[in-house]
């Protein structure tokens, strides 16, 4: 992509997303090239992508496609290696 990010699942609105100024817990379960996405404990999508399968790193990006003065904060970012 032109900004250095790779979208593997497009944004869709969901009732499980808390409104402005309330926290949301985001989860990603990655197993090889398969990804499952969770918001506040509810699975909201899944996708397969092998673009960076051997990279050994991960990242987290928040952005807005049209909200003026968009702000976000991340209180913690954790990962686990599952058996």
Average pLDDT over residues 28-43: 91
Residue with tokens 């992508």: 49
How do 34-39 and 42-48 pair as beta strands? antiparallel
Both structure tokens of 80? 């686990």
- The answer to whether 32 and 39 have CB atoms below 8 angstroms apart is no
Rounded CA gap, 46 and 32, in Å? Answer: 13
Average pLDDT over residues 28-50: 92
Please check the confidence at residue 1 and state whether its pLDDT lies above 60.
no
């Amino acid at each position: 992509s032109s900004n250095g990010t790779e979208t593997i699942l497009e944004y869709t609105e969901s009732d499980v997303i808390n409104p402005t100024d309330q926290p949301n817990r985001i989860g990603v379960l990655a197993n090889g090239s398969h990804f499952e996405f969770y918001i506040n404990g509810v699975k909201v999508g899944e996708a397969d992508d092998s673009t960076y399968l051997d990279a050994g790193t991960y990242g987290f990006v928040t952005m807005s496609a049209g909200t003026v003065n968009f702000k976000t904060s991340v209180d913690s970012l954790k990962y686990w290696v599952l058996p």
